[in-house]
Amino acid sequence: MLNIVLFGPPGAGKGTHSVKLVADYEFVHFSTGDILRAEIAAKTELGLLAKSVMDKGELVSDDIVIGMMRNKIRQNKDAKGLVFDGFPRTTAQAEALDKLLEENGIAVSAMLMLDVEKQELIKRLQKRAEVSGRADDANIDIINNRIEVYNDQTLPIVDYYKNQNKFKPIDGLGTIEEIYDRIQAVIKTL
Ligand code: ADP
């Protein structure tokens, strides 16, 4: 079983490439952002709680997102593989993910980090705002805050995976096909 953490800043292309991996490898895709937005759309208690945090570009609490992932992992431990998109976003989440996988007799195979510079991220997110309808894409201050939150709270995870020899950086600039080829080249080595 291949379990991939697809990592990178907002706008790096995690969602785009997750969809391609699901189509080509029959992996199961977990996007915490998508799960949270579905909770918001369904107006659940969790959704209401998450919305104000997400609209500001801050992180939803570790307890909430870890709790969300617990059942999903248990239900899919016999899949061909799992793709984690937008999770983990803190070192506490990375530690929790290892524990949750271990409880099910599986483990992270690699963390693939899509590397994209800030100006390009801003360009992509502003373009996405035209179609996504996401409040957090529509405002430059919130976009900047998301990138700052990523740099402060999420980037430290790189060391966590480096220490486990699971860190695989990937150049995230170029066409979608070029980037996807690089992702597949790394997956072939796993
Ligand atoms: P992007 O990576 O493009 O910013 P996502 O859809 O992954 O978009 O996430 C949108 C928002 O959802 C985040 O800014 C954050 O508020 C919340 N969120 C998603 N995943 C997590 C997570 N693992 N931990 C905390 N908050 C999260």
- Stretch 20-45: mean pLDDT: 97
Hunting for tokens 């179609």 — which residue is that?
A: 131
Atom 2 (ligand 1) nearest CA: 10
Rounded Cα gap, residues 81 and 183, in angstroms: 15
Per-residue burial over 22-56, b if 16 or more Cβ lie within 10 Å, else e, is eeeeebbbbbbbebbbebbeeeeebbebbbeebeb
Tens digit of each residue's pLDDT (9 = 90 or more) over 35-80: 999 999 999 999 999 999 999 999 999 999 999 999 999 999 999 9
User: Angle formed by the axes of helices 32-41 and 62-75, to 10°?
Assistant: 100
Helix (H) or strand (E) holding 115: strand 110-115
Atom 4 (ligand 1) nearest CA: 10
Confidence of residue 14 (pLDDT cuts 50, 70, 90): very high
Tens digit of each residue's pLDDT (9 = 90 or more) over 118-163: 999 999 999 999 999 999 999 999 999 999 999 999 999 999 999 9
Residue 17 one-letter amino acid = H
Spacing, Cα 5 to ligand 1 middle (Å): 14
**Spatial CA neighbour of 179 closest among 12, 4, 61, 33:** 12
Beta strand 28-31 with 81-85 is parallel
- How does DSSP classify residue 165? T
- Stretch 98-104: mean pLDDT: 97
Q: Is the pTM of this model over 0.85?
A: yes
Q: Closest ligand 1 atom, CA of 14?
A: 2
pLDDT of residue 122: 98
Q: Cβ(124) to ligand 1 under 6 A?
A: no
Q: Closest ligand 1 atom, CA of 58?
A: 16
pLDDT of residue 187: 98
- Provide the token pair at 159: 């060391």
Atom 18 (ligand 1) nearest CA: 33
